[in-house]
Chains A and B, each alone.
Chain A
């Protein structure tokens, strides 16, 4: 990596000093000034494909790639303090449409994405948890080369939510707004984030979650300063405040328990299925949903095999060529959608498939969503 020039003198001492076990952290946190974040991103984007939350002209927050040109202008609309983007960062790691291979005259040409370095900066805690979940899924059993190539060199920088969107409930799912910092070497990397930023006014406190995160700070040390005791205290207060800002509280544990014990009545599913208009949005937009379809297209003897997002609420999702469909009835598909997240994911991995982001409700044309179901089944 080429050494970058910077007008600021390097701060000292370097903040990547190892923490001692017992000090409560694995690396002593440092800080980055808010007005230096843009420069940090521009500098880092020389080496990384940087993805950031960005507020477009429509005021919609999008998690998108920093363009190759006019980065400074682009970053004027960097959106670290708004709520999570409606469209999850899943689009970066598992795009809605992806080519698997091309073919021509019977010859196949693979189209594997190159394993570029990806800096996912400004992720919300729920999305970090979701990425961890999806990572685990695509590595389990067969390794999915398309996913792994896209994601093997990624760095996740979490920025805790200050103003959570009204539909989310991460304090109930224990997936945010901040994630616990590793307190021992055994915990390093476990929470999924590499760095976690806490808004403490004019700067962010930077907590380190992994070796990769530590290395990143080392590589861009000019941007980071040592954190004072006051900074750390402030960050604790900020975290507490953020937690209190999440007002939607649901009994998630009880919901999981009820699901695992099969206590959910068919009537609940039928009610939801009745109202659902089958847009698939709740699943397309879910940061942990990974279902896909594989389809071919061709003209003459040239064509392509691709995969795209699919969703288990659709009738054709399980319809066999014979016409037989084990989930022909609507309520079965509804029950599948919820049980997969709240029962089977939990039983097979210990992680639930819901990270409390509330997007399924936000995108639902008829006001259905995970939080509403959970409220219903824990009444």
Chain B
């Protein structure tokens, strides 16, 4: 049997068919008609069938007793979880609990997780890994445009005349968007500007490649705006009619002439001028960015600056334009949309707004939903270490490998009084758990994911859950019921979607029926609304677009004499995050079997290090051992480490310093040193 579902890996949201034979998944193939995949998949999609069958899957609940996990029945495990969580709530107050939802689970499950946290446990301490990837996008674009999502659609790449790609290794991380850029440039002659500290694959196709020093993004963006304003290349009509605060921007970017920007960023001024002119003068120009922009202490400023640049040139609110954050996880857009965030309910409705709370209280038949924003991921671990968070419930996340400064995260996990993990595999984090609940995989349940272009699409159950595992939504509902709340019972995820639609204006017109076959793009406020391919048409979501000028601020930690390299972390094409799925896929694990650090050959020569040699990379926070890969992809004086591998976890090294507004950590630059072993 073959059933169409949505890929579990990245935010592209490719449609893929899962084939089952006698209750087992035996293949995954592309769909010719799917609007994103269009007959293609990347290597991860083509191999998405394998990990589902892994013998490592969690199949029974596990309860820890005297440092060992013992298999348990569902009833016993669920009772224990609900009793323990209630007890902590009683003893220490609701805000001693925290919940981490998951960008890998469905919209329905994220909604239930936040409902559980808010309606049952009365805390807003709910967050998820978006904090670590695009929190700055959500905040930055909401402030400037009024909506924190990708403005345009994937298929609009096929008609764009210019791409400004920055902080996104698109071919590696969003292969089916990267391929569209390659095709546009090679087959259609579209222009490509790449701004990245690394010589990424796309630079091969770039008309202009600006290799800035890591962490200097605000400076070059301001520099481009300086040129555009000075040369009067901006869209004066657009600025006048559709935006506010231009005068302030104009004043601020005066401080960023190309000469000065060259000093800060190392981008030759002529190149910057050329890029500014090209971007300003091309009508269908799209900005694409990703974690290279967001994962900085100035992440929010970086995002706002890109938004400023796009508004200045009139590149928002039209097809094949816009500011396009490429969301990482398959459903990180959805997890944000559904309110798995400490300050908003679903649809970004603020918890501080009484009318909103009243609406949810009425619908959920509960009283006194908490009004103060809760803690973010980064704060949750800080408070846990301080002993202020006592109980933590983590669904489908692996912070013991994915969060910055792992040594501290692991200490926090140890300190917890009670930790529940709900996952499909025994993760690094699960080892710290008191109870491990086995979840069904994406192939074993119904639901929806929302991809990077806001397309809400179905995932469909192809086989029964493995062993005794259950879909996350059923587990969450069971916990809620056991805590004495009956408003959390559903027969089917479609009922949850109906509830979502009734409470969430941007999802208001969405139902399972309407999602056939390939989904709808939000905002979709009403039953007859066709969905929205691009945002801010005629008018910004917040009315007038706001220029928010941001001065350049240096990264929190820069290379110095002792730690003389600028270390950046990220992903590679073959793997996914902490490798729980991709490292259980024989082909992917074969292609990139272990950890490595990318280093420029000139640096290696100085240190007398050869290709493949083992080295110790250390930062002020820890050290790891791994092999050296020599490549000119990184600049001299820079290092890059993929963070997938538990044996050499890059996040032991990373800096937990956070953006003051979005609370996103600075994964993209810290100071490190390299020593031969």
A57 at the interface (CB under 8 A from B): yes
A95 at the interface (CB under 8 A from B): yes
Known: A95-B19, A95-B26. 10 other contacts (CB 8 A): A61-B32, A86-B30, A96-B26, A97-B27, A277-B42, A277-B182, A279-B41, A293-B586, A299-B56, A314-B587
Contact A58 B586 (CB under 8 A): no
A59 contacts which chain B residues (CB < 8 A)?
33, 517
A57 contacts which chain B residues (CB < 8 A)?
4, 516-517
A284 at the interface (CB under 8 A from B): yes
Give the distance in Å from the alpha carbon of A280 to the alpha carbon of B187 in the complex. Answer: 21
B130 nearest CB across to chain A (Å): 27
Give the distance in Å from the alpha carbon of A314 to the alpha carbon of B592 in the complex. Answer: 11
Selected contact of B591 from candidates A87, A304, A315, CB within 8 Å: A315
10 pairs of residues in contact across A and B, judged by CB atoms under 8 Å: A57-B516, A60-B31, A60-B33, A95-B27, A96-B28, A275-B182, A297-B56, A299-B56, A316-B591, A363-B41
User: Which residue of the partner chain A has the closest CB to B26?
Assistant: A97
Which stretch (A30-38, A248-256, A338-346, A364-372) binds chain B? A364-372
**Residues from 19 to 54 in B contacting A, C-beta threshold 8 Å:** 19, 21, 25-34, 39-43, 45-47, 49-50, 53-54
B461 nearest CB across to chain A (Å): 15
Contact B586 A308 (CB under 8 A): yes
Size bin of chain A's contact surface = 35 or more
Contact A279 B43 (CB under 8 A): yes
User: Which residue of the partner chain B has the closest CB to A367?
Assistant: B183
B25 contacts which chain A residues (CB < 8 A)?
97
User: A: which residues have CB within 8 A of B?
Assistant: 56-62, 64-65, 67, 86-87, 91, 95-98, 274-275, 277-281, 284-285, 293, 295, 297-299, 302-304, 308, 310, 314-316, 319, 323, 362-367
B607 at the interface (CB under 8 A from A): no
Give the distance in Å from the alpha carbon of A357 to the alpha carbon of B182 in the complex. Answer: 25
Selected contact of A281 from candidates B17, B21, B30, B586, CB within 8 Å: B30
B591 contacts which chain A residues (CB < 8 A)?
314-316
9 nearest A-B pairs in the assembled complex, by CB-CB distance: A96-B27, A365-B179, A295-B586, A299-B55, A316-B590, A365-B40, A58-B517, A97-B26, A86-B32
User: Which residue of the partner chain A has the closest CB to B517?
Assistant: A58
A293 contacts which chain B residues (CB < 8 A)?
586-587, 590
A235 nearest CB across to chain B (Å): 29
A-B contact count (CB 8 A): 128
B204 at the interface (CB under 8 A from A): yes
B277 at the interface (CB under 8 A from A): no
Give the distance in Å from the alpha carbon of A16 to the alpha carbon of B223 in the complex. Answer: 82
B26 contacts which chain A residues (CB < 8 A)?
95-98
Which stretch (B78-86, B170-178, B506-514) binds chain A? B170-178
Contact A67 B1 (CB under 8 A): yes
User: Which residue of the partner chain B has the closest CB to A359?
Assistant: B39
B189 contacts which chain A residues (CB < 8 A)?
none
B399 at the interface (CB under 8 A from A): no
Given contacts A60-B31, A278-B43, contact A366 B182 (CB under 8 A): yes
Residue from A64, A310, A314, A365 having most chain B Cβ neighbours under 10 A: A365
A270 nearest CB across to chain B (Å): 12
Give the distance in Å from the alpha carbon of A58 to the alpha carbon of B17 in the complex. Answer: 11
Give the distance in Å from the alpha carbon of A366 to the alpha carbon of B573 in the complex. Answer: 16
User: Which residue of the partner chain B has the closest CB to A56?
Assistant: B4
User: Which residue of the partner chain B has the closest CB to A362?
Assistant: B39
A302 nearest CB across to chain B (Å): 7
B31 contacts which chain A residues (CB < 8 A)?
58, 60, 86
B660 at the interface (CB under 8 A from A): no
Contact B2 A64 (CB under 8 A): yes
B183 contacts which chain A residues (CB < 8 A)?
366-367
Give the distance in Å from the alpha carbon of A32 to the alpha carbon of B211 in the complex. Answer: 67
Contact B587 A310 (CB under 8 A): yes
